């Protein structure tokens, strides 16, 4: 009887050691997917279903062990719904932290309205989380846009300006997934319907909104500025928006000159008719709304008064007088 008890104790001890070893190896061994993996977790999805999805997509190696560790750490019932992108080296505890999205947050960044991908790269690089060049390379890629189902030359315009919390070891795509999710929350079904009524694609709406964002200082002027661009588009006039001429120039922070307006880029609306190939910054909801619901005006021109507001004109003659007056006031 004593021998049987000892034998049972040895078996239990060996099993416990094997389980502990397996658990240790599981939680400390990172996986590196061959390509970025997009996973969408719907509200109400159970922790077990989430673990099966993670296992099925090669993000973790053991679904049952993931559930066990999540339960032991108190996270199993608090894994959050949302869109996630997994890329790079992550241990299972990293995955849990990302899905938990609560007390483990480490990096807080705020993306101002009108920031472009170069500005966003600067903000992210300041955290030390990612190299500036790495973010710009990924955000500038049409492949990244296609990965998120966005019909645009790059991620520009769809990285919604807001405050975000980032996790250690996140990659550019993982960071952008959070911003794209926020964009889809802001771009409502009503906006999509209005875009359809205007005969505009989502990319065209955001492109126009990005120009409005760069031209306007005050939100109450945005619908009026929008009306100018809509009126010019209807008349097949060049949009002649100064910010489009310098889009794509990294670290451009000076006054735009007449020479800049001759730039040969496809974004320059002084040289190319219609909207640019894609957005020139990431607009806020006010600019998107203005692009979709412009004010009803006869205006075809506007010029800055030098105080953030603009003078609007219906004729070139009136516009030239306003420019002369604006230059006098500036001097």
**Tens digit of each residue's pLDDT (9 = 90 or more) over 179-221:** 999 999 999 999 999 999 999 999 999 999 999 999 999 999 9
Q: How confident is the model at residue 10 (pLDDT cuts 50, 70, 90)?
A: low
Identify the residue with better confidence: 139 or 7. 139
Which pLDDT belongs to residue 103? 38
Which pLDDT belongs to residue 108? 86
Euclidean distance between CA atoms 150 and 153, whole angstroms: 9
Looking at residues 99-119, what average pLDDT do you find? 79
Which of 286, 151, 170 has its CA nearest to residue 217?
286
Please name the residue ranges forming H helices in the chain: 2-28, 47-56, 63-72, 92-100, 117-127, 132-139, 142-147, 172-186, 189-198, 202-215, 222-234, 242-245, 285-292, 316-330
Q: 44-53, 141-150, 244-253, 284-293: which range is least confident on average?
A: 244-253
Q: Which residue shows structure tokens 């990924």?
A: 138
**Non-local CB neighbours of 171 within 8 Å, separated by 6+ positions:** 36, 85, 87, 88, 130, 138
Looking at residues 268-297, what average pLDDT do you find? 97
Question: Span 26-100: which CATH code?
Answer: 3.30.1490.480
Joined together, the tokens standing for residue 38 give 């997009």
The answer for 313, left when phi > 0, alpha when psi is -120 to 50, beta otherwise, is beta
Which pLDDT belongs to residue 150? 96
* pLDDT at residue 20 tops 70: no
Which pLDDT belongs to residue 4? 56
Q: How confident is the model at residue 122 (pLDDT cuts 50, 70, 90)?
A: very high
Question: Span 107-186: which CATH code?
Answer: 3.30.1490
Q: Where in the chain is the domain with CATH 3.30.1490.480?
A: 26-100
Which pLDDT belongs to residue 172? 95
Euclidean distance between CA atoms 324 and 266, whole angstroms: 29
Contact by Cβ (8 Å): 279, 207? yes
Q: How confident is the model at residue 255 (pLDDT cuts 50, 70, 90)?
A: confident
Q: 11-25, 52-66, 240-254: which range is least confident on average?
A: 11-25
Q: How confident is the model at residue 19 (pLDDT cuts 50, 70, 90)?
A: low
CB atoms closer than 10 angstroms to residue 47: 18
Contact by Cβ (8 Å): 150, 207? no
Task: State the DSSP code for 277.
Answer: S
Average pLDDT, the chain: 86
Looking at residues 309-313, what average pLDDT do you find? 93
Q: What is the end-to-end Cα distance of the chain in Å, rounded?
A: 104
């Amino acid at each position: 009887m004593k021998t049987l008890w000892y034998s049972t104790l040895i078996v239990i001890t060996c099993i416990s050691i094997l389980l502990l070893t397996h658990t240790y190896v599981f939680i400390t061994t990172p996986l590196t997917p061959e390509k970025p993996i997009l996973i969408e977790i719907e509200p109400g999805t159970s922790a077990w279903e989430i673990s099966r999805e993670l296992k099925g997509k090669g993000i973790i190696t053991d679904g049952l062990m993931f559930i066990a560790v999540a339960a032991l750490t108190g996270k199993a019932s608090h894994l959050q719904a949302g869109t996630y992108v997994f890329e790079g080296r992550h241990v299972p505890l990293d995955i849990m932290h990302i899905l938990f999205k609560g007390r483990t947050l480490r990096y807080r960044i705020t993306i101002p309205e009108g920031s472009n991908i170069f500005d966003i790269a600067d903000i992210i690089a300041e955290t030390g989380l990612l190299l500036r060049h790495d973010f710009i390379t990924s955000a500038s890629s049409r492949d990244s846009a296609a990965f998120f189902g966005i019909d645009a030359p790059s991620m520009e315009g769809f990285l919604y300006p807001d405050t975000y919390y980032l996790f250690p070891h996140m990659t550019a795509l993982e960071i952008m997934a959070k911003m794209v999710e926020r964009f889809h929350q802001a771009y409502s079904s009503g906006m999509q319907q209005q875009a359809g009524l205007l005969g505009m694609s989502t990319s065209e709406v955001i492109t126009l909104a990005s120009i409005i964002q760069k031209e306007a200082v005050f939100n109450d002027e945005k619908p009026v500025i929008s009306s100018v661009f809509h009126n010019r588009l209807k008349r097949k006039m060049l949009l002649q928006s100064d910010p489009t001429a310098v889009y794509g120039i990294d670290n451009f922070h000076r006054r735009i000159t007449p020479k800049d307006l001759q730039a040969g880029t496809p974004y320059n609306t002084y040289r190319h008719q219609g909207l640019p190939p894609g957005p020139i910054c990431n607009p806020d909801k006010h600019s998107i709304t203005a692009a979709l619901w412009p004010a009803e005006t006869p205006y075809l021109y506007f010029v800055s008064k030098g105080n953030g507001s603009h003078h609007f004109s219906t004729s070139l003659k009136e516009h030239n007088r306003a420019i002369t007056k604006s230059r006098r006031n500036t001097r």
